């Protein structure tokens, strides 16, 4: 008997068969040259359909091997728009709209989800999705704290899930640098510099009336309680006070938002995606502070090193044997890579472990700036060495009743 994609991903095929087939089977249900049969499509839902979520929704909806069945957002407007767009695509009313992601995750018919909520929700939803047996595509930055990162990696591994981060720029924006590092043109690479910022800051915006279409308690979720303010929860790309990306409780600011791309490109270029730094050195040149992150293999990533350009590569001595640059699986960029990996169970390009190793870079950098001192990091134990105070920064208590 031929094994379908759906049977391969889950054993729910028997339950579907028990419901029986309709007497008239549309050609689309059997698949055709353009579209696989439903049993071979990846059934997906989306959680967080604002700015980046809208783009991801469109990307997955546009794939012939995806059947999009559910939308979730805490803003009714975004939720209804997402449902309408999905229904229009398929010419039916089948997309179910949810305002609580837990309802969506509990559905047995969904294979995979994409997540584009604010960052303070990422770990909670990724971990719960894995516990429900879903594969996950999550927008960057994947983690808000160091502690969340290791939990996400552990959980994905525990359940054998395909979990991909969502920085499309890592492979696309730094091609020249990456190629020269990987093909050996630079010889042995010693260092790379990333210029990015700012760090997120405390938020104390005044209270405003909660709009009728907003579930404010769910927007806040595990973050500390605060009154509604439109700037506090705006999904705009500002990191200077006009969106959640500016504020500590929801984001690491530009350091993690653009940092996920730039540090992602840097770690990829110098080939340390499988590692985390073990030293975080706070230094100063002409009164300007900067951070150097040293890896166990001797490679160094610097942050905002004065006088050094973006993605500038420091060349070491000796030759490096050229290697082929990794690329996406399948077609359709990073979302296509994810779908292909869901089918093959291979590691996606921004596999969660690589994503978390990348995110460790800005998190460690921020810790050094905040504490105003150099730090040593034990990646295996996921703890700072000999610095109890720094270790307190690894985790934050989650607002009740949220727990991971």
Task: Considering the complex, state which of residue 44 and residue 130 has its C-beta at the smaller distance from other proteins.
Answer: 130
320 sits near other proteins (criterion: CB under 8 A): no
Question: What are the two backbone dihedrals, phi and then psi, of residue 152, each rounded to the nearest 5 degrees?
Answer: -65, -45
334, 354 in Cβ contact below 8 A? Answer: no
Q: Side by side, which strands form the sheet with 135-139? A: 96-98, 66-72, 42-47, 112-115, 135-139, 163-166
- Least spacing, CB of residue 152 vs other proteins, in Å: 13
Report which of 188, 192, 129 is spatially closest to residue 155, judged by C-alpha positions: 129
Classify strands 135-139 and 112-115 as parallel, antiparallel or unpaired.
parallel
CA–CA dist 226, 205 (Å, integer): 9
- Least spacing, CB of residue 18 vs other proteins, in Å: 16
Report which of 69, 23, 75 is spatially closest to residue 43, judged by C-alpha positions: 69
Task: Considering the complex, state which of residue 15 and residue 88 has its C-beta at the smaller distance from other proteins.
Answer: 15
27 sits near other proteins (criterion: CB under 8 A): no
CA–CA dist 70, 75 (Å, integer): 15
Q: Of 160, 198, 296, 298, which lies in the binding site for other proteins, with binding defined by CB under 8 A?
A: 160
- Least spacing, CB of residue 102 vs other proteins, in Å: 11
Task: Considering the complex, state which of residue 131 and residue 320 has its C-beta at the smaller distance from other proteins.
Answer: 131
**Which of the 8 DSSP states describes residue 210?**
P
11 sits near other proteins (criterion: CB under 8 A): yes
Task: Considering the complex, state which of residue 321 and residue 381 has its C-beta at the smaller distance from other proteins.
Answer: 381
Q: How many CB atoms lie within 10 A of CB 78?
A: 23
With contacts defined by CB under 8 A, name the span among 7-15, 85-93, 190-198, 299-307 that binds other proteins: 7-15
Size of the site for other proteins (CB under 8 A): 44
Q: What string marks each residue from 182 to 221 as x (binds other proteins by CB under 8 A) or -?
A: -------------------xxxxxxx--------------
- Least spacing, CB of residue 130 vs other proteins, in Å: 7
231 sits near other proteins (criterion: CB under 8 A): no
- Least spacing, CB of residue 280 vs other proteins, in Å: 16
Strands of 295-331, DSSP E: 300-303, 313-315
- Footprint of other proteins on 125-154 (CB under 8 A): 130-133, 147, 154
Residue 86, Ramachandran bin (φ over 0: left; ψ between -120 and 50: alpha; else beta) = alpha
| 17 token code pair | 């068969």
- Footprint of other proteins on 368-397 (CB under 8 A): 370-373, 388-389, 391-393, 395-397
Report which of 260, 276, 265, 271 is spatially closest to residue 139, judged by C-alpha positions: 260
- Least spacing, CB of residue 388 vs other proteins, in Å: 6
Question: What are the two backbone dihedrals, phi and then psi, of residue 233, each rounded to the nearest 5 degrees?
Answer: -115, 10
404 sits near other proteins (criterion: CB under 8 A): yes
Q: Of 84, 218, 226, 379, which lies in the binding site for other proteins, with binding defined by CB under 8 A?
A: 226
In 135-222, alpha helices (H): 146-158, 169-172, 175-182, 216-220
158 sits near other proteins (criterion: CB under 8 A): yes
102 sits near other proteins (criterion: CB under 8 A): no
Binding interface with other proteins (CB under 8 A): 10-12, 108, 130-133, 147, 154-155, 158-160, 201-207, 224-227, 370-373, 388-389, 391-393, 395-404
């Amino acid at each position: 008997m031929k094994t379908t994609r759906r049977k391969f991903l889950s054993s729910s095929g028997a339950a579907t068969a028990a419901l029986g087939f309709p007497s008239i089977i549309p050609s689309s249900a059997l698949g055709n040259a353009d579209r696989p049969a439903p049993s071979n499509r990846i059934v997906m839902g989306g959680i967080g359909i604002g700015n980046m979520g809208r783009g991801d929704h469109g990307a997955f909806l546009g794939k012939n091997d995806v059947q999009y069945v559910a939308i979730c957002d805490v803003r009714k407007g975004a939720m209804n728009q997402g449902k309408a767009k999905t229904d229009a695509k398929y010419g039916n009313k089948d997309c179910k709209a949810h305002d609580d992601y837990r309802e969506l995750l509990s559905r047995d018919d969904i294979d995979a989800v994409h997540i584009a909520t604010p960052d303070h929700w990422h770990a909670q939803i990724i971990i719960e999705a894995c516990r429900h047996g879903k594969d996950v595509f999550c927008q960057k930055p994947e983690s808000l704290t160091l502690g969340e990162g290791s939990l996400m990696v552990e959980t994905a591994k525990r359940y054998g899930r395909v979990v991909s981060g969502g920085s499309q720029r890592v492979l696309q924006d730094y091609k020249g640098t990456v190629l020269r590092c990987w093909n050996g043109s630079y010889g042995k690479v010693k260092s790379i510099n990333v210029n990015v910022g700012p760090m997120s800051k405390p938020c104390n915006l005044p209270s405003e009336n909660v709009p009728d279409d907003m579930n404010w308690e769910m927007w806040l979720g595990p973050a500390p309680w605060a009154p509604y303010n439109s700037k506090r929860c705006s999904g705009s790309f500002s990191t200077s006070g006009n969106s959640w990306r500016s504020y500590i409780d929801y984001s690491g600011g530009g350091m993690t938002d653009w940092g996920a791309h730039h540090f992602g490109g840097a770690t990829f270029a110098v080939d340390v995606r499988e590692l985390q730094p073990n030293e975080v050195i706070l230094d100063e040149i002409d009164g300007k502070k900067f951070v150097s992150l040293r890896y166990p293999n001797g490679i160094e990533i610097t942050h905002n090193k004065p006088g050094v350009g973006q993605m500038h590569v420091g060349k070491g001595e000796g030759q490096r044997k050229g290697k082929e640059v990794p690329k996406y699986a399948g077609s359709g960029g990073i979302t296509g890579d994810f779908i292909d990996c869901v089918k093959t169970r291979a590691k996606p390009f921004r596999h969660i472990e690589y994503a978390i190793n990348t995110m460790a870079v800005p998190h460690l950098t921020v810790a050094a700036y905040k504490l105003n001192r150099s730090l040593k990091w034990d990646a295996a134990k996921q703890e700072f060495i000999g610095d109890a105070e720094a270790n307190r920064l690894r985790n934050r208590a989650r607002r009740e009743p949220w727990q991971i």
